[in-house]
A and B are shown apart, each in its own frame.
Chain A
Amino acid sequence: MIRYGAAEQEMRPMTTDDLLVSRLQLLIIMAKAYLKGYPLGEFRKNAIARNARFVFYEAVVRTGSRRYRPSQNKPSRQASRPQKQMDHLFLQRAQLLAVMLNAFIEGKSEGSFRSRAMSENVDHICEYLSDRLQLGDAQFLKVA
């Protein structure tokens, strides 16, 4: 039997944070595959739309809840203000990526500058996540 997933001592139920990070990683893979011209089919387009929708609304909920709790944004000696701002910016970038990718697959967006903008947004998100997930880890995406 092959084993995948968490180490035995770290096993626990999945949380919405686990799912958001994994879905954001999936969105990054989807964006990279799109930019590389990997084949798209109806099911992949459907999967991209569903994933983009989840990430977008989860990011909206999280930034929205912070907006309605202003005390969370108060700088303190312990909490670094740049980190708080980065959190907000990160969620905005995640929303932006969801919108960009959705627009591309719906054919509402095209052009080299928009592709470059999406690529740069992916780079920023990866940098924030310290993401090491590469397209090379999913070679099967080259096949429709």
Chain B
Amino acid sequence: MHNFLKSREVAIVPNVKIAVVENDQLTRDFIVNVMMYSVNREVMAFADGQAFKAYLQAGGTVNIVLSEIQLPEISGFELLKSTRKNHPDIIFVCMSANPADETAATELGADAFLAKPFVLQDLFDIVQQFVVGE
């Protein structure tokens, strides 16, 4: 289990940092909107994997990332692999509309898989699972 999860004792992890990596703007805005409302914090949004990777390489921090798999240039799987290697404590949620991606996400060590199309309750469940304390 991640240290991030072990250490949670309060209702919402203080100053939790969430990033959404999604190239579809409408979907990205919706997820950011739900997360921002749920945790009452700023939520980072990235339109491609390169921008998110650059953010981490520049020393940026994040606790939870929700990333689409089918991204242009750097795929979500590549992001997952590099995140697992360099930032193993980050909770990584893969999103995809392709059923074939689920097996690969499991093998690469994703914490969760969000199958599209999803509904509001799925995002609330992710908050409940990964952000809210015991």
Chain A interface residues toward B at CB < 8 A: 1-16, 18-19, 21-23, 25-26, 29-30, 39, 41, 43-44, 46-48, 50-51, 54, 133, 137-144
Q: Is B1 an interface residue (CB 8 A)?
A: no
How many chain B residues sit at the interface, stated as a range, is: 35 or more
* A4 in contact with B125 (CB, 8 Å): yes
Contacting residues, chain B, for A138 (C-beta < 8 A): 38, 124, 127-128
Question: Which residue of A4, A16, A143 contacts B26 across the interface (Cβ within 8 Å)?
Answer: A16
* B102 in contact with A8 (CB, 8 Å): yes
Q: Top 10 nearest A-B pairs by Cβ distance? A: A5-B115, A47-B37, A5-B118, A4-B122, A2-B112, A143-B11, A47-B36, A41-B40, A13-B97, A18-B117
Chain B 23-77 residues near chain A, CB threshold 8 A: 24, 26-27, 29-30, 33-34, 36-42
Chain B interface residues toward A at CB < 8 A: 11-12, 24, 26-27, 29-30, 33-34, 36-42, 95-99, 102, 105-106, 110-122, 124-129, 131-132
* B30 in contact with A19 (CB, 8 Å): yes
Contacting residues, chain A, for B98 (C-beta < 8 A): 11
Q: How far is the CB of B15 from chain A (nearest CB, A)?
A: 12
Contacting residues, chain A, for B95 (C-beta < 8 A): 5
Contacting residues, chain B, for A137 (C-beta < 8 A): 121, 124
Complex-state Cα separation, A5 to B37, whole angstroms: 20
* A22 in contact with B126 (CB, 8 Å): no
* B27 in contact with A1 (CB, 8 Å): no
Contacting residues, chain B, for A44 (C-beta < 8 A): 36-37, 40
Contacting residues, chain A, for B99 (C-beta < 8 A): 8-9, 11
Complex-state Cα separation, A9 to B12, whole angstroms: 34
Q: How far is the CB of A48 from chain B (nearest CB, A)?
A: 7
Complex-state Cα separation, A46 to B38, whole angstroms: 12
Contacting residues, chain B, for A54 (C-beta < 8 A): 29-30, 33
Complex-state Cα separation, A138 to B34, whole angstroms: 11
Contacting residues, chain B, for A21 (C-beta < 8 A): 119
Contacting residues, chain B, for A15 (C-beta < 8 A): 117
Question: Which residue of A10, A23, A133 contacts B121 across the interface (Cβ within 8 Å)?
Answer: A133
Q: How far is the CB of A132 from chain B (nearest CB, A)?
A: 9
Known contacts A5-B114, A12-B97, A140-B131: A50-B102 contact under CB 8 Å: no
Q: How far is the CB of B84 from chain A (nearest CB, A)?
A: 13
A-B contact sample (12 more), CB < 8 A, given A1-B105, A4-B126:
A1-B113, A3-B102, A4-B113, A5-B113, A11-B116, A13-B116, A19-B26, A43-B37, A54-B33, A137-B121, A140-B11, A140-B38
